[in-house]
Amino acid sequence: MSSKPATQTANALAATSEEEVDERYVVPGLVRGLQMLLTFKQDRQEQTVADMAKNVGVTRSTAFRIVYTLELAGFLRRLPGTHRYELGSRVLELGYSFLAGKDLIEVASPILRQLRDETQTSTHLAVREGHEVVYVARFQGNTSLISAMTVGSRLPAHATAPGRVLLAGLPLSEVVGLYEHFAFERFTADTPESMGALVSLVERDRAQTSVISWGFYDPDVASVAAPVYNAAGKLEAAISVSCPITTYDKDTFSTQVRGQVEAAAARISAGLGYHAGAAG
């Protein structure tokens, strides 16, 4: 078989490289094996040898040898009692080993900078510690609001948009246990001042893809926060934007800006290895 398909695949696999491919150093079997792994998609999680042969463009005998090798190495797994294969645990090991080395702030920072520039708001990354949210990254926006928020700042989780996002990701029993003996402080008329009010708020927030704060914590400030998930599908952090409440009209803020925040959170989650549908 000609090496041309393998070379074309090598070019595709190294699409980000501008260097010219030197065919002398291309290993066709390895390239086809990698291409075979890439044929597994969310809507194609199981395949037969014939399926993979067709998708890669090789004969069944060639596909069988590649599949046999990948199965032996743990990159493919044959489903018991069938002629179908799925990705093996070694593929996950490769992904998690890479993702484990990617720091949350490292992944989030360029996306938060871009979000700041797109929305002209201040952007933040926050995690929860007990009853508080801790801001671990911040990018000041070009607005009349000079935020006193700095990296390391702490605010009450029950009264802030990112805090509400993080509380909504907890089991209700954990929220109740966390606030059982809590002395609620009210910052505006919207701030929950009792366990019942907090539980109702958390249940409403759970039904949303993000949380809007229109003067919820500070009557002069608008904010929207969205969740960030890690590779295991667990809630890792929350991102938020904030600006003077006069910066946007409420409808624009609740649609356009909210959508931009949700999209940024999704990009950060993807950068951490999260796949939609894995949360829970």
Is the model's pTM score more than 0.85?
Answer: no
- In this predicted structure, what is the pLDDT of residue 220? 86
Enumerate residue ranges in the chain where pLDDT < 70: 1-20, 92-102, 143-149, 277-280
Instruction: State pLDDT tens for residues 147-159.
Output: 566 777 888 999 9
Which region holds residue 202: left if phi is over 0, alpha if psi is between -120 and 50, else beta? alpha
- In this predicted structure, what is the pLDDT of residue 2? 43
Beta bridge partners of 85: 47, 78
Contact 113, 125 (CB under 8 A): no
d(CA 89, CA 169): 28
d(CA 191, CA 275): 33
Instruction: State pLDDT tens for residues 15-61.
Output: 444 456 778 888 888 999 999 998 988 778 899 999 999 999 999 99
For residue 235, which of 155, 116, 133, 106 has the smallest C-alpha distance? 133
Spatial CB neighbours of 51, under 8 Å, sequence gap ≥ 6: 39
- In this predicted structure, what is the pLDDT of residue 147? 57
- In this predicted structure, what is the pLDDT of residue 13? 52
Fold assignment, 4-99? Arc Repressor Mutant, subunit A (1.10.10)
For residue 208, which of 252, 167, 176 has the smallest C-alpha distance? 167
- In this predicted structure, what is the pLDDT of residue 6? 47
Share of the chain above pLDDT 70, in %: 84
Max intra-chain CA distance, the chain:
74
Q: What are the φ/ψ torsions at residue 229 (nearest 5 degrees)? A: -110, 150
For residue 71, which of 55, 56, 95, 52 has the smallest C-alpha distance? 52
Domain spans of the chain, in order of start: 4-99, 102-271
The CATH class that applies to domain 102-271 reads alpha beta
- In this predicted structure, what is the pLDDT of residue 16? 40
